[in-house]
A and B are shown apart, each in its own frame.
Chain A
Amino acid sequence: MKYVSFATSIHDLGILKEENHDEVILGHRDFSRFGKLDDLQFIELAAQAKKLGMRVVFEWDILMIENVFAHLITCIEKFQGHFDVLRVQDPGALEWSLKNTQVPVQFIAENANRNLEALNGWCEYIGDRLDRLVLSIELSRNTLAEFVSTLKVPCELLGFGRILLFYTPRNLLSGLNGGEKFRFNDEISALGESEESPHKGFPIVENKHGTFMFHIKEFCLLEFRQELANLGLSHFRIDLRWEGLNFIKDLDNLKEIYPQDLMRGFFLVNKTDVLFPKLKNSRLQKREGNYLGEVIEAEKSKHLAILVKHTEGIRPGQNIKILHPKGEEFEVKIHWLKDSSLTEVEHIGQNQLALIPYVGGVWVKSQLFIQ
């Protein structure tokens, strides 16, 4: 397993070389979410990296509306030949890269792509131009193990760095920035907290590409490096763009010396769907098969009013089960049936209003089933 990281200066490249990195990600400020380099800086840094024997990865990870995209593809030409690999997330950037360049492509599959079918789909589509898939940090170790062992391409995972929670193209901070003028290539940052969340101090950054919010803790899988290597992960990404690349020199002690709190995220287990069944009353969802209808009025000592849903309607003499929203069940026989004009009838059809005798304890929204 190799390490891969970002550089924004010659100094950074020197550090990466010392740490035996053979690849570096460079972020141009027009193409990369947090890129700092202008044209000249990019070209100079890329040249220097190549001199040091490193592969240069051109990071093009912003998402682009058509107007921005159309502009950027007129700009990228000047960098052709200065990088070895393109790294993209926007499917438009991927499509354009495949048709208009010859270089290998690293595809950032960190959003969506939680299943092998999707990842295999990208592998097939990109074909032998695919240099690497960048996987999501929301995948648990078991899922990662399955994916990495099944996929036939090199896979990368963020191993250390900020966790991006939110990305919008809108400028959310500059309007609040004490009236200070926001210059186009500047960056505004803030720390946010909400009384409605126990977490305090979300780093927020606004730049020319929009506004980004990060988790209060940074992601760290340093203690799992051997396990990840054994799984077959090809690249372990270290993102120190905010705290400085010097920390990369001491990975074994980084957890102890790093100034930010750290977390493993969902690496051990991802249970972010376990609460879903509690978001609604499952007893109200059983409207299949012998479902007869729903109580829409319960008038004590008088009647239950039902909106009939069964295709065959309702008849007196039928035995029914009533399921209360709280789970209690009642089994009753329909002794009489009336329509809305209070006339006793022998049948009421689907989507009609029907009255049956009141059943003590039954509420509105109770569900009826034919027995």
Chain B
Amino acid sequence: MSSFMPEILAPAGSLDKLKVAVLYGANAVYVGGQKFGLRTAAENFTTDELREGVIFAHARGAKVYVVLNSFLHDKDLTELPEFVEFLDKIKVDAVIVSDLGVVRTVRKHSSIDVHVSTQASTLNVEAAKLWKNMGATRIVLGREVSVKEAGKIKREAGIEIEMFIHGSMCMAYSGNCVISNFTQGRDSNRGGCAHSCRFEYSLDMGLDTKEKRKAYFMSSKDLEGIRVLPEFIKEEIDSLKIEGRMKSHLYAGTMSKVYSEALNYYKDHGDFLSEKLLSWEEELGKVSHRAYTEASLVEPAGADSIFNERENNTDNEWQMVGTVVEANAKSGIIIEVRNAFNQGDYIEVIPFEGAAFALNTQEMMDLSLAPVIRTRPSTLVRLPYQANVTVHNLVRARGTK
């Protein structure tokens, strides 16, 4: 049995999501400050929140990586040293960068580890060696690389390797798509991606028929690599990354929990029982997603990796109804409601470990102790106390579609 275990690296679009990801089992999280990252529309972290996030994560044995993976221009670089020095001071574990100018700036102004972003599309041994020579300590490989190739890159380049295991995927080589730049006036490599690859296109393929083919031909299915976990372990891939800083608390928590549980199970048993795999896949299926694919983790992605469907096809999904903001015998369980539910509805709490379980919705009250028949989003609801519920637990219900 291999003693090697990769880290599970989860997305955290906000301080709350960082806490959720760490509490649900992520070994590391990646976050963005207010500048220099690719998720301009995400809430992102203030400097105070970064400091609190690092303290919170480190106290629980988790690492924090900060993304600086925008293609920075000179005017951006002038502001970077001060931020990098701050990150060094608060003991951020690494920064994720995609540009040589940023690598050099970080090296000059800090001793923080440098991870080369997937935006740099590092795909082979020699490229990894080059980035290592530049001072990188880890490579986040392009999503076109197989796990087997990744193992070879790690061994021959002698550098830590990180790979995506789950989430949405660019169809293009990352960093090699500028559709938004030229059609929407938004720099996709500085956080302005307009997701033009998800549009439906009419294609004139020069065939005899005048009819154009309509297809979502540039849209990729979402990556799911749970069945490839043994390969990741065998090849000793250092870090398994979950995409999605823009995604929900439910996503951050569920992904962190499922993948960390799967790894821990493997650590204890040395294999994956098919029954367990099915249950993990079922959990992954409960979170909003496109159809899943293993993309290029085993073989180069084929035609079946294209998501030729309209977005928001969310059959069989569960939705997050809220987060537990307080839970004690005196106050009961107080949930910050995100999606409405009714008295008597089946809702369940996802504990940090173990199987989800039902909450009692027969006796719902508002904060002023008045009975509630139907909750409303952006309100608080009070449920009877259950001992195994705790703050930051996520609460979900089956979607109504």
Contacts and interface: CB of A to CB of B under 8 A. Distances in A.
Determine the main DSSP class of A at the interface with B. mixed
Contact of A63 (B71, B121, B126, B199): B121
A178 B101 contact: no
Interface residues of A, number: 92
Interface stretch (B202-210, B223-231, B263-271, B276-284): B202-210
A90 B203 contact: no
Interface in B28-63: 34, 40-44, 46-49
A333 interface: no
Given A192-B201, A197-B183, A339-B331, A168 B171 contact: yes
A268 interface: no
A158 interface: no
B126 A96 contact: yes
B185 A272 contact: yes
Contacts of B189: 112
Interface stretch (A10-18, A127-135, A240-248, A288-296): A288-296
Contacts of A317: none
B340 interface: no
A76 B229 CA distance: 36
Nearest to B329: A341
B112 interface: no
A249 to B, nearest CB: 28
A50 B334 CA distance: 79
Contacts of B368: 299, 302-303, 342
A122 to B, nearest CB: 7
A111 interface: yes
Given A95-B129, A169-B173, A288-B48, A191 B192 contact: no
Contacts of B326: 340, 352-353
B120 A112 contact: yes
Contacts of A90: 121, 123-124, 127
B131 A91 contact: yes
Contact of B197 (A166, A174, A266, A276): A166
B199 A111 contact: no
Contacts of B175: 111-112
B134 A125 contact: yes
B125 A69 contact: yes
Contact of A167 (B134, B173, B202): B173
Interface string A88-105: 001111111000000000
B100 A194 contact: no
Interface stretch (A39-47, A231-239, A278-286): A278-286
Interface stretch (B2-10, B250-258, B298-306, B355-363): B298-306
A176 B213 contact: yes
Interface stretch (B85-93, B143-151, B234-242): B143-151
A168 B380 contact: no
A263 to B, nearest CB: 9
Nearest to B44: A285
A365 B146 CA distance: 43
Contacts of A280: 40-43
B191 interface: yes
B393 to A, nearest CB: 14
B380 A94 contact: no
Interface stretch (A22-30, A52-60, A113-121, A254-262): A113-121
B153 interface: yes
B190 to A, nearest CB: 6
Interface residues of B, number: 101
B291 interface: no
A342 B332 CA distance: 12
A305 interface: yes
A118 B145 CA distance: 25
A65 B217 contact: no
B40 A276 contact: yes
A180 to B, nearest CB: 8
Interface centre among B176, B189, B192 (most CB of A within 10 A): B176
Contact of B153 (A66, A167, A287): A66
A273 interface: yes
B349 interface: no
B123 A305 contact: no
B301 A118 contact: no
A216 to B, nearest CB: 9
A339 B325 CA distance: 12
Given A192-B203, A197-B196, A291-B48, A303 B303 contact: no
A51 B333 CA distance: 84
Contact of B46 (A94, A178, A196, A285): A285
A285 B76 CA distance: 19
A175 B306 contact: yes
Given A265-B182, A285-B34, A296-B380, A115 B101 contact: yes
A252 B58 CA distance: 64
B98 interface: yes
A192 B202 contact: yes
B70 to A, nearest CB: 9
Contacts of B305: 170
A138 B393 CA distance: 46
Contacts of B386: none
Contacts of B179: 165-166, 213
Contacts of A351: 391
B100 A118 contact: yes
A194 B215 CA distance: 10
A115 B192 contact: no
Contacts of A165: 177-179, 182-183
B43 A284 contact: yes
A66 B207 CA distance: 36
A195 to B, nearest CB: 7
B288 interface: no
A318 interface: no
A163 interface: yes
A167 B176 contact: yes
A331 to B, nearest CB: 22
B385 to A, nearest CB: 11
B342 interface: no
A141 to B, nearest CB: 15
Interface centre among A69, A112, A165, A291 (most CB of B within 10 A): A112
B113 interface: no
Given A115-B72, A276-B191, A305-B380, A194 B122 contact: no
B200 interface: yes
13 contacts: A66-B125, A69-B124, A117-B102, A119-B101, A125-B130, A138-B181, A168-B171, A168-B172, A169-B173, A173-B203, A193-B201, A297-B379, A353-B380
Given A95-B133, A118-B100, A176-B203, 17 more contacts: A111-B175, A114-B99, A117-B74, A118-B99, A121-B101, A138-B187, A146-B74, A171-B302, A172-B171, A191-B203, A192-B217, A272-B187, A279-B40, A285-B43, A297-B378, A302-B368, A353-B334
Which 3 residue pairs across A and B have the least CB separation, nearest first?
A118-B101, A117-B101, A92-B127
